[in-house]
Structure 1
Amino acid sequence: MTQPIEFIFDFCSPNAFLAHKVLPELTKRHDQTVRYVPVLLPTVFKATNNQNPFEAFSENRQKTAYLTHDLHRYARRRGVSFHMSPHFPVNTKFAMRGALFASGKAWESRYIDAIFDAIWVHGQKVDELNVLMDILQENELPARKIREAMTDAEIKQQLKEQSKAAVKRGVFGVPTMFAGTEMFFGKNSLANLELELSQAPA
């Protein structure tokens, strides 16, 4: 395949964080690149009558306990530092607008790594702009320009439209990966994605 693997994501998802940590090594094995596509998960959920599993199964303590255990087990077995955010569910609207602004820029991957780690490694509260500014400055990112983008009406609208476009392609949650026209949902579908890449014609 010549086109990059598309990674549809929102920072608010712990599963997206874990897939983000695993995906680069997977795609490297198959000489592939990744294109990150930011979406607003609440917009996707609203359009597809969906919700995050912790809310969907909030009254099933066994289920939510297992989901939490599975996240930590997945991270541990892959050597990924992970902590469930004390602010979950996380409001990431500002961070996701920043991700859209970062798309295609030289520092895009540094921005994505910084925000994902801030939430799922360091437990920071990224719905506050002053916290985001500290994160940007600590990672030597263009904080002022990103801060302006986070409150820009045009960026806000573009992100909504990008989220709706993802839904039209069949996306109902994150992380979702596309290899060509083949869609793979969730961190546990990465094995099937790798199988798809291994069987693709050279």
Structure 2
Amino acid sequence: MTQTIEFVYDFCSPNAYLAHKVLPELANRHDVSVTNVPVLLSTIFKATNNQGPFQAYSENRQKTAYLTHDLHRFARRRGLSFHMSPHFPVNTKFAMRGAIYASGKSWEDRYIKSVFDAIWVHGQKVDEINVLTEILQENDLPVRKLREAISSPDVKQQLKDQTKAAVRRGVFGVPTLFSGPEMFFGKNSLGNLELELG
């Protein structure tokens, strides 16, 4: 039976974007599959009395400068395109509802890549439905069905339920990865994840 890595993510996180970019190669090296688990990070923060590092350390210039440098260094050393979003912090509730609808579909990976790249490569404002629609059209995704899903009460509830389930498992931020019962938080824990898989 093929081992599975669960990737708990929200498009609003630059660290989740970077982890997403390197995860396929890591999974391939260890012959494991990846299951994507979309959640709403703002809800997780409220439930766990947590906040993002840029918010938590907003008054510490040295810390925020290092966090920014670390993001760019991680991307540069792996040949990844990355730019801090001019709209950070990013509101991704529409995009995450779309991710819920995309789960398990043949075009799920294309959807995830398209939205991550829109935010962290191209600096697009995905909380505007018209902008998100253009992204979907450019990437040959089912625009009408996704637009309907974004406003669907069932999809909204699925996102809430999946987010609550993640909190119950111990998730307090993203990216979080699971290999069986073992939890790994943040892009810098990928090395420990590899050791677990090895």
What TM bracket, shorter-length normalisation? over 0.9
Report the 3-state secondary structure (helix = DSSP H, G, I; strand = E; otherwise coil) of the residue aligned with 1:166. helix
Contiguous gaps of at least 5 residues in structure 2: none
Per the alignment, residue 42 of structure 2 pairs with 42
Per the alignment, residue 188 of structure 2 pairs with 188
Alignment of 1:99-110 (within 5 A): 99-110=99-110
Q: Say whether 1:147 aligns with 2:144.
A: no
Alignment of 1:59-70 (within 5 A): 59-70=59-70
TM-score by length of 2: 0.99
Alignment of 1:25-36 (within 5 A): 25-36=25-36
Alignment of 1:146-185 (within 5 A): 146-185=146-185
Distance across 2 between alignment mates of 1:171 and 1:68:
23
Aligned partners of 2:100 and 2:159 also within 8 Å:
yes
Question: What's the offset of the Cα at 1:41?
Answer: 0.1
Q: Which amino acid aligns with 1:57?
A: Y
TM-score by length of 1: 0.97
Per the alignment, residue 10 of structure 1 pairs with 10
Distance across 2 between alignment mates of 1:108 and 1:4:
17
Question: What's the offset of the Cα at 1:2?
Answer: 2.8
Structure 1, residues 63-119: CA drift from partner, whole Å, max 9, x if none? 101100100000000000000000000000000000000000000000000000000
Per the alignment, residue 128 of structure 2 pairs with 128
Alignment of 1:42-121 (within 5 A): 42-121=42-121
Distance across 2 between alignment mates of 1:173 and 1:119:
19
Structure 1, residues 29-68: CA drift from partner, whole Å, max 9, x if none? 0101100000000010000000000000000011101100
Question: What's the offset of the Cα at 1:25?
Answer: 0.2
TM-align CA RMSD: 0.7
Distance across 2 between alignment mates of 1:96 and 1:88:
16
Report the 3-state secondary structure (helix = DSSP H, G, I; strand = E; otherwise coil) of the residue aligned with 1:83. coil
Distance across 2 between alignment mates of 1:4 and 1:43:
26
Contiguous gaps of at least 5 residues in structure 1: none
Distance across 2 between alignment mates of 1:178 and 1:55:
26
Report the 3-state secondary structure (helix = DSSP H, G, I; strand = E; otherwise coil) of the residue aligned with 2:173. coil
Q: Which runs of 4+ in 1 moved over 2 A?
A: none
Distance across 2 between alignment mates of 1:195 and 1:91:
34
